[in-house]
């Protein structure tokens, strides 16, 4: 009975050996690597293994070399010329998109994909396969293609010894990922619908416990106000934030009203915000009105700052901006001189001196 029990245990362990494997180095001296970046709040990850050139310069790319041009006939499913390159070493190179994105202008769903490439001297097909658990590209099957895009390989001046994936360009709403090895780089662009993805996440979060925090609501509203999107929806969030009365929450609500061209509400809310304002916040509020081409409203705020706080840097710097906007550069210079003497640090002094130069040249500093 004991032998039967022991045999059953052995069979169980052998059957499940893939679940609990030994932690060993990657085979073939091809170290594993992972690179991740976020575009907006969308995480993009490439997981791969890194072969090295290993004194094979000039013998990596092309027919008769390590990576043959196009597709090869070593596909274990078909024995036809259908196998691309694994775009790395060992098991599948894997790319993960947290949200739906576009690759080279084509839609692809959020998910995990096997990444393959078929290369030629002047073009490359980058393949995203819904099969991501295979070893290399030996079992690649085109019926599982989620997306194919064609890109242009780029010759590199400096050889890359160990294959790598790198985010070679990053902007607010897209990135460019490149596979780089030896003297070749294969870049592809990934576009992310950042605003709609963030908005969907914010809508989820404002109904959660996070939505009971005024400054979380403030941050959510500011995101949309700064991008000039969904302003009516943002207004509801701004109003919720302003239930906790601070300069920041009320100033944001005022800005939201202004974006919606509701100036009476914007002004009355700003007046309430100024109750909590520091001298510098008065100055910033006034300058925002100059930017909005409302210099008379700016003067009201600067006068209120002077009445409340007296002869201080933020008051004089505010008047400097106002008179410059009105074209009275002589008056602006008077206040610039006062502000310079009261500047709190060297960086501010440098900025004021720069403004003085412009004012003497008859140039508006705003």
**Long-range own/partner contacts, residues 166-170 (CB < 8 A, 24 or more apart):** 166/35, 167/35, 167/37, 170/37, 170/39
Strands (DSSP E) contained in 131-228 are: 145-151, 154-170, 174-191
- 230 and 126 share a domain? no
- The whole-number average pLDDT for the span 336-357 is 97
Q: What is the pLDDT of residue 56?
A: 93
Q: Is residue 340 part of a domain?
A: yes
Q: What is the pLDDT of residue 11?
A: 45
Q: What is the pLDDT of residue 137?
A: 80
Q: Is residue 123 part of a domain?
A: yes
- 111 and 183 share a domain? yes
- 170 and 198 share a domain? no
Q: What is the pLDDT of residue 25?
A: 65
Instruction: Examine the fold and report which residue of 228, 261, 294 is the final residue of a domain before the chain moves on.
Output: 261
Of the candidates 75, 40, 177, 61, which has an alpha carbon nearest to the alpha carbon of residue 121?
A: 61
- The whole-number average pLDDT for the span 317-334 is 98
- 102 and 58 share a domain? yes
Of the candidates 183, 228, 230, 187, which has an alpha carbon nearest to the alpha carbon of residue 206?
A: 230
Q: Please check the confidence at residue 26 and state whether its pLDDT lies above 90.
A: no
Q: What is the pLDDT of residue 17?
A: 44
Tell me the CATH number at 307: 1.25.40.10
- 186 and 238 share a domain? no
Q: Is residue 312 part of a domain?
A: yes
DSSP three-state, residue 54: coil
Please give the Cα distance from 118 to 285 (Å, whole number).
57
At 31-81, the pLDDT tens digits run 999 999 999 999 999 999 999 999 999 999 999 899 999 998 766 666 667
At 177-216, the pLDDT tens digits run 999 999 999 999 999 999 999 999 999 999 999 999 999 9
Q: Please check the confidence at residue 242 and state whether its pLDDT lies above 90.
A: yes
Contacts with 12 (C-beta within 8 Å, 6 or more apart), sequence order: none
What count of other Cβ atoms lies within 10 Å of the Cβ of residue 221?
A: 29
SS3 content of the chain, % helix, strand, coil (to 5): 45, 25, 35
Q: Is residue 4 part of a domain?
A: no
Q: What is the pLDDT of residue 10?
A: 41
φ, ψ (nearest 5 deg) of residue 112? -110, 130
- 197 and 327 share a domain? no
Q: Please check the confidence at residue 15 and state whether its pLDDT lies above 70.
A: no
Q: Is residue 181 part of a domain?
A: yes
User: Which range marks the domain in which residue 232 is found?
Assistant: 193-261
- 188 and 40 share a domain? yes
- 352 and 304 share a domain? yes
- The whole-number average pLDDT for the span 206-234 is 97
Q: What is the pLDDT of residue 2?
A: 40
- 253 and 114 share a domain? no
In the structure, what pLDDT confidence band is assigned to residue 30 with cuts at 50, 70 and 90? confident
Instruction: Examine the fold and report which residue of 261, 285, 304 is the final residue of a domain before the chain moves on.
Output: 261
Q: Is residue 14 part of a domain?
A: no
When divided into structural domains, the chain yields a total of: 3
- 37 and 152 share a domain? yes
Q: Is residue 324 part of a domain?
A: yes
Lowest pLDDT segment from 73-82, 344-353, 357-366: 73-82
Q: What is the pLDDT of residue 44?
A: 99
Lowest pLDDT segment from 3-12, 37-46, 48-57, 227-236: 3-12
- The whole-number average pLDDT for the span 78-93 is 85
Q: What percent of the chain has pLDDT over 90?
A: 85
Q: Please check the confidence at residue 6 and state whether its pLDDT lies above 50.
A: no
- 310 and 365 share a domain? yes
Calculate the average pLDDT of the chain: 92
- The whole-number average pLDDT for the span 227-235 is 97
At 133-181, the pLDDT tens digits run 887 788 888 999 999 999 999 999 999 999 999 999 999 999 999 999 9
Q: Is residue 11 part of a domain?
A: no
Q: Please check the confidence at residue 132 and state whether its pLDDT lies above 70.
A: yes
Instruction: Examine the fold and report which residue of 237, 261, 285 is the final residue of a domain before the chain moves on.
Output: 261
Of the candidates 232, 271, 231, 234, which has an alpha carbon nearest to the alpha carbon of residue 251?
A: 271
- 64 and 99 share a domain? yes
Q: What is the pLDDT of residue 4?
A: 46
Q: Please check the confidence at residue 20 and state whether its pLDDT lies above 70.
A: no
Q: What is the pLDDT of residue 23?
A: 61
């Amino acid at each position: 009975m004991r032998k039967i029990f022991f045999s059953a245990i052995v069979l169980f362990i052998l059957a499940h050996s893939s679940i609990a494997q030994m932690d060993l180095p990657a085979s073939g001296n091809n170290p594993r690597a992972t690179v991740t970046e976020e575009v907006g709040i969308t995480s993009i990850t490439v997981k791969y293994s890194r072969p090295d050139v290993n004194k094979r310069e000039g013998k990596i790319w092309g027919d008769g070399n390590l990576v043959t041009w196009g597709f090869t006939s070593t596909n274990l499913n078909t024995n036809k010329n259908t196998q691309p390159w694994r775009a790395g070493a060992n098991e599948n190179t894997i790319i993960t998109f947290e949200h739906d994105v576009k690759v080279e202008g084509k839609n692809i769903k959020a998910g995990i994909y096997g990444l393959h490439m078929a290369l030629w001297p002047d073009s490359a097909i980058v393949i995203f396969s819904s099969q991501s658990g295979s070893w290399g590209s030996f079992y690649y099957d085109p019926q599982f293609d989620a997306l194919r895009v064609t890109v242009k390989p780029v010759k590199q001046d400096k050889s890359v010894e160990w294959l790598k994936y790198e985010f070679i360009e990053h902007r607010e709403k897209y990135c460019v990922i490149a596979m780089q090895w030896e003297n070749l780089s294969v870049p592809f662009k990934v576009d992310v619908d950042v605003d709609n993805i963030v908005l969907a996440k914010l809508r989820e979060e404002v109904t959660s416990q996070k939505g009971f925090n005024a400054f979380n609501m403030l941050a959510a509203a500011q995101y949309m106000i700064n991008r000039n999107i969904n302003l009516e929806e943002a207004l509801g969030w701004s109003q919720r934030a302003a239930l906790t009365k601070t300069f920041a929450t009320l100033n944001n609500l005022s800005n939201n009203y202004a974006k919606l061209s509701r100036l009476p509400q914007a002004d009355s809310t700003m007046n309430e915000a100024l109750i909590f304002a520091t001298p510098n916040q008065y100055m910033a509020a006034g300058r925002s009105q100059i930017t909005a081409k409302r210099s008379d409203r700016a003067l009201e705020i600067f006068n209120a700052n002077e009445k409340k706080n007296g002869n201080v840097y933020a008051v004089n710097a505010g008047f400097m901006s106002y008179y410059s906007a009105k074209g009275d550069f002589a008056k602006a210079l008077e206040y610039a001189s006062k502000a310079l003497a009261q500047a709190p640090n060297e960086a501010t002094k440098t900025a004021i001196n720069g403004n003085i130069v412009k004012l003497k040249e008859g140039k508006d500093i705003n």
